[in-house]
Structure 1
Amino acid sequence: MMVRRTELEGVLLFEPTPHRDTRGFFSRTFDAAVAESVGLQPATFRQDSQSRSHRGVVRGLHGRQGCGEGKLVRCSFGAVHDIVVDARPQSPTFGRWIALRLDDRDMVHVYIPPGFLHGFQALSEVADVCYRIDREHDPAADVAVRYDDAVLGIRWPLEVMDVSARDRKAGSWSDFCELLSTPAA
């Protein structure tokens, strides 16, 4: 398994080497030693979750307030257009985003450290996305920015077919930036 850094500090791509033959494939989906070699603490991962989405569905852009949330994300079935937005106010890449293709062919995983927003669009008829997170989910700490925010200008490759009510009601990037500058009560 190889690890590659991205243009966003702390966002890492884990690239496994699937072994394929006539039966199918075998691949490592996690390796604590590899994670440790790039400074992650695998023992801190607390929860695994999975979502299933249909072609054109967009989920996100989601993040966590407070300490944030680190997560290792992979597409275990199908393909997604994955988006990671730097939401760390002190970062030189604050407000920049990257797009990645995660799929069940290359099996690349993306590690997203605390302080980022994350979302994706299902490219295949069905896409399963697995998340390994380092905090227990606390709905009170959830933050969201609209998937179609004009300031961020994220380009989704397919027509957006469906989003959750929560994501439709999410605030803008400007609202989010205002939230960041408001001291906690």
Structure 2
Amino acid sequence: MSIEKIVEQALQDGYLTPAMEAEVGRVCDTAAELSIEEYMALDRLMGALLTGEVVAVPRKQFINVMEELVLTEAIARVAEIEATSERTLDLGDIAAYALNRLPPLYATTEEGAAYQRQRAKEDLQELIAQRVSEAIAQNLNQPEFFPERQVINKGAGSDVLGQVSALLKAYAPGFEQPGGSSISF
């Protein structure tokens, strides 16, 4: 979809969705040079956002606590494997595989998230560890079927730290380390 059409849709609806925002970003990133019409449309969108005529819909108004629990488990396990072998594992694939086999734990408040974390640690920690183990086994045994496939949010790097950083930014923007200090990116 073109920038002009996205802006037209946002002005008509009064909302700029995360998908629309991502598409504008993709067009801007891939275009060698934007046309005058595209610049004018972006200027119109900026003005509408500043005046409140268009409201940007937040990316997430809720979190799935299971995502951060799976990421924590997967990060620890992947780091162990990569430190003791020559293998490089795809943290995103591992997390997605495990999450597809676990119940979601959504929350809209910090109190709700704390409750879901506590509930998961008491009732689901063993299941989380088991699903992450299955995901790692699947990842280790998976042949390179489609080496040309493109990763979502490509550009974060292929190393574990880059993958972790990208996943935490997307799924746990308020993730806190023990001791209360937030991770900043």
> TM-score normalized by structure 1?
0.20
Higher-strand-fraction structure: 1
> TM-score normalized by structure 2?
0.20
* Higher RCO, Cα 8 Å, sep 6+: 1
- Which protein shows a greater Rg? 2
Higher-helix-fraction structure: 2
